[in-house]
Structure 1
């Protein structure tokens, strides 16, 4: 008998060790020690059993509102509702909407989040919470809200049987078992994803303008082209239609250029252009520019105002939700024919600030 008990105990220990090893095999870890599970059920079970290690953000980033979000405030996960009483087990999200998710090692795995975790609660104009993100880093969850951990199903109640009444003609009344009422766990309301941002902006840059003029032949001898660079200013306004496309109106002016042949003139530019951009990271964006511009050299009395094509590149580096450092390079090719002086290519290079009127 004792031999059988010992065998049963050894089998139980082996089975427990095997189950523990299998559970460990389903756990993924990143370089910061955060863990993820292969399924939502495995993550839920670890949290309920008290063995889960809750996710801890390692980066820092200020809150960033999206379209339709009026305010943002801090709160804890469990303050969102009863479905977060035990926290959340959410699928690891990648980078999106200019903010990160979780590390690449955990993306797609189910990650446990503590009910006391601080979150950013983004609210609409009527004060309703429409989205949450991780408080310290503003990183995204898999949706507008993380997946809450369902409450464990209650144990079924034992059937209730009525006592047997003793009478001359005994009748036994057997009542059917009373089934427990199902427990409905509330889930976050599915919300329509926020629209891609569209917003106006203004910008100003300070830099240098390089103008080039062709000298006419002297006594039949061709002269070299003459150029001069001067301090210049650019001001403009634009509108970002979506994540890729935008449009700008701009003006550039410089100090008066002095050329080697003794001629002096400043260059005044007024133009319209389209922009096409791409986000390199959460803070850095590059874009190309293509449009037309009217360039005037007012000191050229023969008249030299020209409409020319313009192309260029630019870069933005976000300093906050609305303010960004901006750099510009613009090239205005020469026109095939012109009145007055033979004006060649005009170039502008500058750096300054851009302010976006984002909601």
Structure 2
């Protein structure tokens, strides 16, 4: 009997631990985040939270309207931070990082003893705080504090009766309905639409037919071109883009000219090298059209490429592209290449 009770307790404890950590993620540096603020608050209040530890070092950087900066602890800001903070993880903005990509959109526990930079205006009023070691930013000017649980009032003492009354007949206590199981909030969505545009050059190559049985060299031309489109990032890894490309008229050594345009759809797969830098590969199909001195011709070609973005803030990034449109054996037109640099604007939630 005792063994069965012990087993039941161990199973119940395991279920509680699984439930408590169901909404928690951990990044490569061991820092953790929770899907909801309530989960993060509960972990801190229960003394089970792993508080955030910065891994980089950056000096303080004052923003517009900030006159002074000094060091302190999170709990020194106000009594609201007695237990610390559970703040929403954000990315890079205004020249300073937030948290790693794995923790963005998650609620992260911060210790009340965490060292912070305290920024003040000309009147000495505190207007913003950041993490002291790295100057990384919080989701707002101040992090979200962990609420201090309110203690239940002590029960009132029952009055002393003058004489004991006869004990009433026992009444069966009503059976309380089981409390509904807690509903876990869905994880924050990472789906992000965006627009992009780049300027650069495209290089087109045409194969000249043989003259009198003698093979001619391939002819190429490089001219200014642009590429733009819309995209959708489905998560940290995969995305899709609809794009168009065109540019100046291409002129070849044999005196002919053409305008080259492309309209395509491609998938992307990428990896974050840091909070700001992301690289990605591209694979898709495009309808490539040539018109001008040559007979107008359109072909559906496979296209592959590479891209890179450097985040300026949460919404805007510098973007670079290389795209290769694979030649088709049934055409005199050979490979088409594009290289460009521009901007990408993401509609972050």
Instruction: Decide which of 322, 342, 349 is 1:352's aligned counterpart.
Output: 342
- Partners of 2:56 and 2:338 in 1: how far apart? 43
- Partners of 2:61 and 2:213 in 1: how far apart? 67
- Partners of 1:318 and 1:248 in 2: how far apart? 19
Report whether the alignment pairs 1:343 with 2:336. Answer: no
Report whether the alignment pairs 1:252 with 2:245. Answer: yes
Q: Structure 1 residues 357, 307: closer, same or farther in 2, change over 3 A?
A: same
What is the CA-CA distance between 1:57 and the residue it aligns to? Answer: 8.7
Structure 1 portions without partners, runs of 5+: 1-39, 45-53, 63-75, 102-109, 120-131, 152-189
- 1:127-276 counterparts in 2 under 5 A? 134=131, 136-138=135-137, 192=185, 194-276=187-269
Q: Structure 1 residues 232, 214: closer, same or farther in 2, change over 3 A?
A: same
What is the CA-CA distance between 1:97 and the residue it aligns to? Answer: 6.8
> Counterpart of 1:318?
311
- 1:17-56 counterparts in 2 under 5 A? none
Q: What does the per-residue CA deviation read over 1:139-165, in whole Å, with 9 as the maximum and x for residues that have no partner? A: 69xxx97878999xxxxxxxxxxxxxx
Asked whether the 8 Å contact 2:81–2:146 carries over to 1, the reply is no
Q: Structure 1 residues 88, 55: closer, same or farther in 2, change over 3 A?
A: farther
Aligned to 1:233, the other structure's residue is in SS state strand
- Partners of 1:318 and 1:77 in 2: how far apart? 29
Aligned to 1:298, the other structure's residue is in SS state strand
Asked whether the 8 Å contact 1:214–1:343 carries over to 2, the reply is yes
- 1:80-91 counterparts in 2 under 5 A? 86-88=82-84
> Counterpart of 1:113?
113
- Partners of 2:329 and 2:54 in 1: how far apart? 64
Asked whether the 8 Å contact 1:254–1:268 carries over to 2, the reply is yes
- Partners of 1:232 and 1:115 in 2: how far apart? 51
Asked whether the 8 Å contact 2:280–2:306 carries over to 1, the reply is yes
Q: Structure 1 residues 319, 147: closer, same or farther in 2, change over 3 A?
A: same
Asked whether the 8 Å contact 2:83–2:111 carries over to 1, the reply is no
Instruction: Decide which of 283, 286, 289 is 1:293's aligned counterpart.
Output: 286
> Counterpart of 2:166?
none
Q: Structure 1 residues 261, 301: closer, same or farther in 2, change over 3 A?
A: closer
Asked whether the 8 Å contact 2:190–2:236 carries over to 1, the reply is yes
> Counterpart of 1:281?
274
What is the CA-CA distance between 1:312 and the residue it aligns to? Answer: 0.1
TM-score by length of 1: 0.54
Asked whether the 8 Å contact 1:55–1:111 carries over to 2, the reply is no
Aligned to 1:266, the other structure's residue is in SS state strand
- Partners of 2:61 and 2:300 in 1: how far apart? 45
- Partners of 2:198 and 2:115 in 1: how far apart? 47
Report whether the alignment pairs 1:302 with 2:295. Answer: yes
> Counterpart of 1:186?
none
TM-score by length of 2: 0.55
Tell me which structure has the larger Cα radius of gyration.
1
Q: What does the per-residue CA deviation read over 1:48-86, in whole Å, with 9 as the maximum and x for residues that have no partner? A: xxxxxx999953699xxxxxxxxxxxxx9559997x554
Q: Tell me the number of residue pairs that the alignment of Structure 1 and Structure 2 aligns.
A: 237
Asked whether the 8 Å contact 2:194–2:346 carries over to 1, the reply is yes
- Partners of 1:325 and 1:336 in 2: how far apart? 36
